[in-house]
Amino acid sequence: MTRTTTTSASALARIVVSTCALAACVAVAALTRRAMREGEDSRARRRSGDDAEAVTTGEDEPREDESTRGTTETPASVPSSSRGGGGDFEDARAVYADAMRMLCTWAGERGYEPVTRAFRRVAYLARAGGDAHLECEATLIVAEIEINALRRMYAVMESADVEESIDASQFERITSETLRLAVENGDRVSEARAHVVVGDYYLMARRDHAAALEHYGIAREFAREEGSLPLEMEACRRMQWTQSIRGDVRGAGTLSREVVRLTRLYAENEREKNRSDESNRGDGGDGVDADDDRLMVREHWYLGGYENQEVHALKELGCALRGETRRLSRPVVEGARQREAVDVFEEALDVLDAHWRATKSSFERDAEGAAIKLSILGHLGDIFDNYLEPENVAANRARAVEYRRRYETLAPGSFGPGVACPLCDVPLGGLDVDDAPVKMTFAWDACASKHHFHAACLDARFDDSRPACPGCVAERLARRTE
């Protein structure tokens, strides 16, 4: 599993932790400073009571009941901190810092179970040390990692196989414990994050779209109250995914436009903050706002996708307008919004190119941005070849060929007479107006998979009752027989 984060000018660490799109803005030092202050207060309050319990050491067996099983582990089963395993809040923070460093540098293909165990240890030590805020934070991170693991399963496996493998009862314990801790702490940002996690539980484990939308809506409202634009963006994004899964193209498009609006507002706020920091440094100040510590703590959640959030949001909007009905299988649905999708995708290309100019990057130096550019070029070729008004067939074919030639220039061997259609073994073509129309199945990841087909071949083979890409199905079957 991978998960991607966006850094801001206020020294947020960039963490790559999600495949489709998931990211966390993490300010380790800022969070540690605040958590230490709040943990000290919490610890003092708990120990000052007449019925205060003795603090458990890191070597003791943690108490386990139905609400905590699955969220904490015995210290013997998890990695130890380099500073030992006591139950005091200082030790919990040492383990937390180690876990964050692990999360920041961990390669997704290695699997995230060691990272999950590390944060479970943090939660256990924080509970033993009476640090409710750190316990909540660590438990949230565990839940977010578990959710993203489930998303990755849906991305690479058939839905039925994933659903059979889900332990819904343990999944429910993890999410309910996360929400309980957040509510007990009275922290609206943590509550919002927890409601996103619970919404994901209902969406993926229960297929209860109404309940998922309710929790995402609560998260969105709490985030708005707290002025947390990235978290509001993420809640809206989850609502858009749910509406897409339900087949509500209009509702998904409306929510996706809201994500674009929030993304632009957030980017402008960041630019303004950067200008203010530069001005303060020019006046001899250190460029650090007195509220940075609190702000950076509030911005601890995952932002889905590419580092330029506007590009990512525009691509999502284009896919929503195309009519994707399942976030992870993403079959393209014909509809009347294809022309608007063209405008959105072309705008995304302009924003991406401007981003590369501003950051002195390029297609060759930015792998994530390169994948997005190829995907959008593939979308545009697909739309012009198959989904626009028939009275302009010649002009539309010419535009489709133009976009595919740009694609082929960047990724040679994707189209042309030397590439065979996977369904008929006849040359795919796509680079000449006299070639047969080319079509793709997936609204989001078709170009990443490079599964393109003659339109007639795909139309004959596509199964609406089991909407999956024939190319991906064939690859999965091949892997199973190896």
* Lowest model confidence (mean pLDDT) among 4-18, 37-51, 127-141, 279-293: 4-18
Q: Does 403 fall in a domain? A: yes
* Lowest model confidence (mean pLDDT) among 175-184, 237-246, 273-282: 273-282
Q: Are residues 269 and 354 in the same domain?
A: no
Q: In terms of Cα–Cα distance, which of 307, 302, 154, 118 is closest to 219?
A: 302
Q: Are residues 335 and 254 in the same domain?
A: no
pLDDT of residue 160: 67
Confidence of residue 269 (pLDDT cuts 50, 70, 90): confident
Q: Does 315 fall in a domain? A: no
Three-state secondary-structure class, residue 456: helix
Three-state secondary-structure class, residue 125: helix
Q: Are residues 75 and 186 in the same domain?
A: yes
How many CB atoms neighbour CB 479 within 10 A? 9
pLDDT of residue 56: 30
Cα–Cα distances in angstroms (integers) from residue 150 to residues 107, 130, 162, 243, 384, in the given order: 17, 31, 8, 19, 35
**pLDDT higher than 70, residue 287:** no
User: pLDDT by residue (tens digit) across 134-184?
Assistant: 999 999 988 888 887 777 676 656 666 777 777 778 778 888 888 999 999
pLDDT of residue 6: 28
pLDDT of residue 50: 38
Q: Are residues 255 and 326 in the same domain?
A: no
Q: Are residues 218 and 333 in the same domain?
A: no
**pLDDT higher than 60, residue 256:** yes
Q: In terms of Cα–Cα distance, which of 345, 399, 405, 414 is closest to 373?
A: 345
Q: Which two tokens stand for residue 454?
A: 């003659």
**pLDDT higher than 90, residue 356:** yes
pLDDT of residue 166: 74
Q: Does 282 fall in a domain? A: no
DSSP for 61-111? PPP--TTTBTTB--GGGSPPPTT---SSHHHHHHHHHHHHHHHHH--GGG-
Q: Are residues 331 and 273 in the same domain?
A: no
* Lowest model confidence (mean pLDDT) among 45-54, 260-269, 373-382: 45-54
Residue 273, domain extent: 3-277+295-305
pLDDT of residue 366: 94
DSSP for 170-213? HHHHHHHHHHHHHHHHT-HHHHHHHHHHHHHIIIIII--HHHHH
Confidence of residue 405 (pLDDT cuts 50, 70, 90): very high
**pLDDT higher than 70, residue 470:** yes
Q: Does 110 fall in a domain? A: yes
Length of the chain: 482
Is residue 256 within 8 Å of 316, Cβ to Cβ?
yes
pLDDT of residue 330: 64
- Angle separating helix axes 393-410 and 367-386, nearest 10 degrees: 160
Q: How remote is the C-alpha of 105 from its chain's centroid?
A: 17
More confident residue, 5 or 252: 252
Q: Are residues 124 and 204 in the same domain?
A: yes
Report the CATH number at residue 123. 1.25.40.10
Residue appearing with tokens 């934070």: 137
Q: How remote is the C-alpha of 347 from its chain's centroid?
A: 22
Confidence of residue 42 (pLDDT cuts 50, 70, 90): very low
Q: In terms of Cα–Cα distance, which of 348, 344, 322, 316 is closest to 335?
A: 322
Is residue 259 within 8 Å of 251, Cβ to Cβ?
no
Confidence of residue 215 (pLDDT cuts 50, 70, 90): very high
pLDDT of residue 174: 81
Q: Are residues 210 and 331 in the same domain?
A: no
Question: Which letter does DSSP use for residue 354 in this model?
Answer: H
Q: Does 407 fall in a domain? A: yes
Q: Are residues 301 and 351 in the same domain?
A: no
- Burial degree of 397 (CB within 10 A; 0-12, 13-18, 19+): middle
Q: Residue type for 83, please?
A: R
Buried b (16+ CB within 10 A) or exposed e, 79-113: bebeeebbbbbebbbbbbbbbbebbbebebeeebe
Q: Does 311 fall in a domain? A: no
pTM over 0.95: no
Q: Does 262 fall in a domain? A: yes
- Angle separating helix axes 132-156 and 168-185, nearest 10 degrees: 150
Confidence of residue 461 (pLDDT cuts 50, 70, 90): confident
Q: Are residues 331 and 300 in the same domain?
A: no
377 phi and psi angles, rounded to 5 deg: -60, -40
More confident residue, 378 or 29: 378
Q: Does 313 fall in a domain? A: no
CA distance linking residue 229 with residue 226, whole number of Å: 9
Is residue 231 within 8 Å of 301, Cβ to Cβ?
yes
Confidence of residue 381 (pLDDT cuts 50, 70, 90): very high
User: pLDDT by residue (tens digit) across 104-118?
Assistant: 777 666 777 888 899
**pLDDT higher than 70, residue 255:** yes
- Report the number of distinct structural domains present in the chain: 2
Q: Which two tokens stand for residue 37?
A: 């202050």
Measured on CA atoms in the order 140, 143, 147, 153, is the torsion positive or negative?
Answer: positive
More confident residue, 238 or 63: 238
**pLDDT higher than 70, residue 300:** no
**pLDDT higher than 90, residue 220:** yes
Max avg pLDDT among 205-209, 269-273, 472-476: 205-209
**Which own/partner pairs from 126-129 qualify as long-range (CB within 8 Å, at least 24 positions apart)?**
126/39, 126/89, 126/92, 126/96, 127/62, 127/72, 128/55, 128/56, 128/57, 128/58, 128/60, 128/62, 128/87, 128/92, 129/39, 129/43, 129/55, 129/87, 129/88, 129/89, 129/91, 129/92
* Lowest model confidence (mean pLDDT) among 104-108, 128-132, 191-195, 248-252: 104-108
